[in-house]
Structure 1
Amino acid sequence: MSTRARVAALLVAAGLALTGCGTGDEGVAGGDEDGRVTGTVTVFAAASLTESFTRIGRDFEAANPGSSVTLNFAGSAALANQITQGAPADVFASAAPANMARVTGAGSADGAPSVFARNQLVIAVPRGNPNRVAGLADLTGPGVKVALCAEQVPCGAAARTALGAAGVALTPVTLEQDVKGALAKVRLGEVDAALVYRTDARAASADVTGVEFPESARAINDYPIVALKDAPNPAGAQAFVAYVGSAPAQAVLAEAGFQAP
């Protein structure tokens, strides 16, 4: 083969190799050449994470230009139902392991969940605590109206555990489907007290006071998070889960009143 022919052959081979590399790079979904993720990341998160995950979502977007975090907040049980019934989501963050177990048991998780925070109950009362509520026994007084979360909701299960530990029996006037619903009853003056998470009472401190009680230590909830198997944006899902465990996100959670995992 002549020198000219050998040069021509090498140029053709080099062109094919470059074409192959370009095709491979374009096929990487949800990420860019610097390792940042792009596209929409849909996160289903427990209602008690509303304030913290709203801020964490904004921080994630800032760290990953071209990404967008869509947040769906509700009771963990309702979110688990939606996921197992095929709702499109990338990440699930639950307020308790029990509802996460429903998702993993259905084969909807991509890997094992990790606990990223813990939360504890307080008694939410109107700001200033006008009825001088000091503990769970005070909620059984005549005419005292109390809101609880429904028992299938993590805050409801935790409330039942705490009440049992205290030996206190009470009949709530309403059972709410998430902790924000129970808190809203206090803020609107429809009840005298509600058992909610410490973080929710802190977020609503302009309207309510959170009364600590010792039995809440018997009912601390772990918060697990996992990327989902059928995530529309798998790279984004994994990146968001990793970010929630990072120092900046953990600082946001700590500021809100969550305990370290």
Structure 2
Amino acid sequence: MKRIMPVAAALMLLQACAQYDSLQVFGAASTRLINEDLAAAIDASLSFNNAGSSALVQQIAEGAEADVLITANEQTMKLAQSNVAAPRAVASNDMVLIVPKGNPAKISSFSSLDHALLVICDANVPCGDTTAQLAKANGVTLKPASLEQSVSDVLGKVISQEADAGVVYRTDAAAASEQVEVIEIPHAEEFKNTIMAAVVKNSSKQKAAAGVVEKLDSASFDEVWQRYGFIPSP
């Protein structure tokens, strides 16, 4: 359950964060939208590494210096369980089909992609895993022209019109609303991805990193999540 942070606790959090020059936040590509707001909410310098969740987990496993890990779903956070502490669900997100502005390929639905140049995420990253589940739920066989390692790569190919369509998070589509059009995917609300945040165990800044995770799950940060189209955790 989400708690409203008492003033005294909030001040202690700010003091703890201020002790450090920089915190390394490894965040799923879809969470890049909140970077500036999170940095403004924490009284410390934050450095962000945004990429596909699976790639971030692998980097941490290989010894990359990180203080906070944010993944796009629970399954990927579980892969990092030996390297993180006390992961929390902080928000959720769902998926949509996008096409370039004007819909030049005249795509009408998720089930009318047979002749479209489609790009989706690879199944080893959360956006690809959810896309596969949606295809199964809708009885659709997808034939992608390419498989990307992050949702931002899918978005980029649709914006540049290298692709006729792509499957991305609703938040990514909202951020690029002037460049893409959205086509709803049936059953998408049944396959929401839960965004998880955790402190990296080998971080030398445990208290400050815990403060970042606390902020992401706080009532005061709900407005930020909602502004970008995420659904804050209860």
Query: Does TM-score exceed 0.5, indicating one fold?
Result: yes
Equivalent positions of 1:87-106 (< 5 A) are: 87-104=64-81
CA distance in 2, matches of 1:232, 1:207: 42
Which 5+ residue runs of structure 2 have no aligned equivalent?
1-10
Write out per-residue CA displacement over residues 93-150 of structure 1, whole angstroms, 9 at most, x where no aligned residue.
000111111111xx2112x21100111000011124344433211112x3x1100000
Write out per-residue CA displacement over residues 198-234 of structure 1, whole angstroms, 9 at most, x where no aligned residue.
0001111121112212221232111111011111211
Which 5+ residue runs of structure 1 have no aligned equivalent?
1-30
The structure, 1 or 2, with the larger RCO (C-alpha pairs under 8 Å, 6+ apart) is 2
Is 1:108 equivalent to 2:83 in the alignment?
A: yes
Equivalent positions of 1:49-198 (< 5 A) are: 49-60=31-42, 64=43, 67-104=44-81, 107-110=82-85, 112-140=86-114, 142=115, 144-198=116-170
Q: Which residue of 2 aligns with 1:217?
A: 189
Number of residue pairs matched by the alignment: 221
What is the letter of the counterpart of residue 71 of structure 1? F
Write out per-residue CA displacement over residues 49-72 of structure 1, whole angstroms, 9 at most, x where no aligned residue.
111133212232xxx2xx211111
Q: Which residue of 2 aligns with 1:46?
A: 28
SS in 1 for 2:130: helix
1:34, distance to aligned residue in structure 2 (A): 7.2
What is the letter of the counterpart of residue 37 of structure 1? C
CA 1:34–1:203: 2 relative to 1, 3 Å: closer
* TM-score, normalised by the number of residues in structure 2: 0.89
Say if 1:77 and 1:152, in contact at 8 Å, map to a contact too. yes
* TM-score, normalised by the number of residues in structure 1: 0.80
Say if 2:104 and 2:164, in contact at 8 Å, map to a contact too. no
Say if 1:119 and 1:258, in contact at 8 Å, map to a contact too. yes
Identity of aligned residues (%): 33
CA distance in 1, matches of 2:38, 2:65: 21
Structure number, greater radius of gyration: 1
User: Going by fraction, where is strand more abundant, 1 or 2?
Assistant: 2
User: Going by fraction, where is helix more abundant, 1 or 2?
Assistant: 1
Q: Which residue of 2 aligns with 1:8?
A: none
